[in-house]
Amino acid sequence: MKARFLLPDVVAVCAVVTFTLATIPAAAQILYNDGPINGTVDAWTISSGFLVGDSFTVSTGTSTITGLSFGAWLFPGDVLTSVDVWISSEGGGGTTYFNETVNFTASGCSANQYGFNVCDETGTFHGPTLSDGTYWVNLSNASVPDGDPVYWDENSGIGCTSPGCPSETYMPAGTIPAESFTVLGTGSGTGTVPEPGSLVLFASGALALGGILRRKVL
């Protein structure tokens, strides 16, 4: 995987795992969806000072952001407690609309072929009110009690359902494929009320990027 830590290479194999995700509170609309969690292709570090940003489009009229869910890869036994969520006008910069540490709760966790637990992480917060347009959600400083790395699932936007998808991406080291996430909120338009989804895991080989060691998948 494109994770920024050193692990021995392992042989790639194919696997498909499906499990049911918990329902997001029905009071929230889906303002933007970048596709379901993949869980086996790759994941990017969002802890220890590393930052990854993805664009999202508001198309439901003036909308207030109230939450976020995303796919996280965790070492077995780890529980994600918080992530720094930064909503801005550009990837990694521009105008800041929101920048806080948000607590997250996991649901639907399942082990993938790499030995990681892949979880749907959901956090709620009092976010900004945004008009129609394109913005960025940036994640960094993800925290688990024992300090292990945390990774944001890569799905390349496959299966995304919202205008403007798949997302553009930002990370200081270069361009990467899109990640799995959903922006929640209340809009003046007719956004979709979330329903339980399913997490489908797809296997793939691994590639190297810019000298960053990437672990091959099982």
Query: Which pLDDT belongs to residue 187?
Result: 85
pLDDT at 33 over 70: yes
What's the predicted TM-score (pTM) here?
0.78
Domain range holding 113? 21-196
Query: Which pLDDT belongs to residue 27?
Result: 62
Q: What integer is the mean pLDDT of 84-112?
A: 98
Q: Which of 13-22, 39-48, 75-84, 149-158 has the lowest mean pLDDT?
A: 13-22
pLDDT at 16 over 80: no
Smallest Cα–Cα separation from 66: which of 143, 26, 123?
123
Q: Which CATH number covers residue 28?
A: 2.60.120
pLDDT at 161 over 60: yes
48 belongs to a structural domain: yes
Q: Cα angle at 4 between 205 and 2, to 5 degrees? A: 20
207 belongs to a structural domain: no
Q: What integer is the mean pLDDT of 156-185?
A: 96
Q: Cα angle at 33 between 161 and 166, to 5 degrees? A: 70
| Burial (Cβ within 10 Å: 0-12, 13-18, ≥19) of residue 75 | middle
10 belongs to a structural domain: no
Instruction: Work out how many domains the chain is built from and give that number.
Output: 1
Query: Which pLDDT belongs to residue 173?
Result: 85
